[in-house]
Amino acid sequence: MRRVIFSTESGADLPVDLAEKHGVQVVPMHVIMDGKDYLDGSIPVRNIYDYYERTKKIPSTTSTNSNEYHDFFTKIKADFPGCIIIHIGYTSRASSSFQNAVIAAKEFDDIFLIDALNVSGGLMAIVMYAVTLLKAEPAVDPNHLVEKIESQVPRSRLAFVPGSLDFLRAGGRVSNAAYISGSLLKIKPLIELVDGRLVSTKKYRGSMNRVTEKMMYDYLNKYSIDKEQLYFLYSIGLDDSIKKRMSEIAAEAGFKQITWIEAGAVISTHGGPGAFGIAGLEK
């Protein structure tokens, strides 16, 4: 029986311990500051926020290029001779990373590519579903395995709110007028993945404690999420009282396992400090 190796990008925010435990190979995306290119995961996330405080600009991010994917796939094939690779990628509608993986994969046999149409915890939810599925059915046919994983792509639900509008404004995602009115009224946009694209679907008003609680209940009412697993995402700066309350609500709702995920450099560049998100798979 040939070994199946899963891979994904750093934009999945898959914790190192989980990646190592399940043998998931992670290829880094890029963060660019002061004209220097850093691999996601090679620098502390705090550096992102320090850069913004110093320059009032956010770093730029770039995808993994096709040459990097070629080297990445080559190494996996060398480390696990005869393996089958199933790459579960960052949404193609927000980055060129997946298309670069497609280009690189043409030179290899037995590489399956799945566009997760999601990012961060939404992507991680699909990756972890794949890991669980293979563990339960180690002899499953690779084509059937890919079909099952792909069936979960439209069921992965990610929603998050930024801790402040500063990073959205600096990145050109909100106008100065919207930033000023939003800050004065304490308005925070809810960002969701819709057909692979980041879309603002509604707005909340109030403190972050109030916003996250309302968001949590809205999310659970809107989606019938599988109670086996729920993922909470956060960036540095989220208050511990919010984490405690979100865990309490999830437990009260009957979720069997709750995993907290700290956003990496690429995702933190877009969400800013103090952001909170929820991800899970619909039944």
The set of residues, in sequence order, having a beta carbon less than 8 Å from that of 267 and lying 6+ positions away, is 11, 13, 119, 120, 233, 235
Domain contains 16: yes
147, 230: one domain: no
Please give the pLDDT value at position 183: 52
CA distance 281 to 182: 31
Domain span including residue 266: 156-281
Confidence of residue 180 (pLDDT cuts 50, 70, 90): very low
* Backbone torsion region of residue 136, taken as left when φ is above 0, otherwise alpha when ψ lies between -120 and 50, otherwise beta: alpha
Q: Which among 66, 116, 61 has a CA at the least distance from the CA of 87? A: 116
CA distance 116 to 90: 6
Please give the pLDDT value at position 133: 97
* Percent of the chain with pLDDT strictly greater than 90: 85
DSSP 8-state class, residue 44: -
Residue entry with tokens 């096709």: 66
Domain contains 259: yes
Please give the pLDDT value at position 169: 60
Confidence of residue 58 (pLDDT cuts 50, 70, 90): confident
Q: What is the pLDDT of residues 224-276, one digit of tens each?
A: 999 999 999 999 999 999 999 999 999 999 999 999 999 999 999 988 899 99
CATH number of the domain residue 257 falls in: 3.30.1180.10
CA distance 111 to 83: 9
Question: Where among 151, 181, 210 does a domain terminate?
Answer: 151
pLDDT > 90? residue 12: yes
The answer to whether 167 and 272 have CB atoms below 8 angstroms apart is yes
Considering its fold, how many domains does the chain have in total? 2
DSSP 8-state class, residue 43: S
Taking the alpha carbons at both ends of the chain, their separation in whole angstroms is 31
Please give the pLDDT value at position 177: 38
pLDDT > 90? residue 164: no
